[in-house]
Amino acid sequence: MTSSKYPSHSTVIAEPGPIDLDWSKTALVIIDMQRDFMEPGGFGETLGNDVSQLARAIKPIAALLGMARDAGILVIHTREGHLPDLSDAPVAKVERGAPSLRIGDPGPMGRILIRGEAGHDIIPQLYPLDSEIVIDKPGKGAFYATEMGDLLQKYGIENLLVCGVTTEVCVNTTVREANDRGYRCVVVSDGCASYFPEFHEMGLKMIKAQGGIFGWVTDSAAILQAISLETSKATATAGA
Ligand code: TIU
């Protein structure tokens, strides 16, 4: 937190219960909001998916991103993708299923899911600032074969606000990896989306069930409200 206009911590209404977040120890993690998943002609569509299902997550994430930038909360973007020579792409992943184009094949946005190609880039609406961290990951989880763990330690992060796509694949995998490493994960329901609405619902339920077996689930309004409520309280106290 670099701005005194925002509180140092807030209680966020969530399921299975409220959670108090120290914003200086919290990072906003935006998973794989890449053209390859969000736009026609990319990896998501080559797998047979209706990519329009994911667009609903953009606005809520943009609101959180604006808040985080304003408040000085650490922002981490991730991108799933592979090196041009595919040396970090397991054959078992490349050969999976019957996509119309495989990882590495040339598509309308460049080679499918390859670093440096247009399709691999983050969508313009949520484009990272030069100052923000971008983690390139070869897997579904943000910790596997990346610098994620070291970075979170370096910044003293204990809590993750997680959003992005898709709910049941890269968001869930990342939350499970983070939970095992001791991070409190708060997943933003309207900031996540899936090609399968029923998987989105169940993906969120799995996280918050059993007393929050992997973490908490909230929505973007609850986070924004928690911050603004605390801000107005602080303003009222300062003015009293
Ligand atoms: N296919 C699908 O739902 N997701 C992925 O392959 N990667 C991410 O979730 N980012």
3-state SS string for the chain: CCCCCCCCEEEECCECCCEEEEHHHEEEEEECCEHHHHCCCCHHHHCCCCHHHHHHHHHHHHHHHHHHHHHCCEEEEEEECECCCCCCCCHHHHCCCCCCCCCCCEEECEECCECCCHHHCECHHHCCCCCCEEEEECCCCCCCCCCHHHHHHHCCCCEEEEEEECHHHHHHHHHHHHHHCCCEEEEEEEEEECCCHHHHHHHHHHHHHHHHCCCEEECHHHHHHHHHHHHHHHHHHHHC
* In the predicted structure, residue 239 carries a pLDDT above the cut 80: no
* Atom 1, ligand 1: residue with shortest CA distance: 44
Residues 6+ apart with CB under 8 A from 132: 75, 76, 77
Mean pLDDT across 124-140:
98
pTM of the model: 0.95
Catalytic center residues: 32, 137, 170
Q: What is the tens place of the pLDDT at every residue in 140-187?
A: 999 999 999 999 999 999 999 999 999 999 999 999 999 999 999 999
155 CA to centre of ligand 1 in angstroms: 27
pLDDT at residue 237 in the model: 64
The confidence band for 6, taking pLDDT boundaries of 50, 70 and 90, is confident
pLDDT at residue 233 in the model: 66
pLDDT at residue 153 in the model: 98
pLDDT at residue 229 in the model: 64
Q: What percent of the chain has pLDDT over 70?
A: 93
Q: Are 231 and 5 in contact (CB under 8 A)?
A: yes
Pocket test for ligand 1, best of 33, 34, 37 (most atoms within 8 A of CB): 37
Q: Are 73 and 45 in contact (CB under 8 A)?
A: no
* Atom 7, ligand 1: residue with shortest CA distance: 170
Residues 6+ apart with CB under 8 A from 169: 140, 194
pLDDT at residue 99 in the model: 94
Residues 192, 165: Cα–Cα separation, whole Å: 6
Residue 80 alpha carbon, nearest atom of ligand 1: 10
pLDDT at residue 5 in the model: 73
Is any atom of ligand 1 closer than 6 Å to the C-beta of 216? no
221 CA to centre of ligand 1 in angstroms: 25
Pocket test for ligand 1, best of 165, 187, 196 (most atoms within 8 A of CB): 165
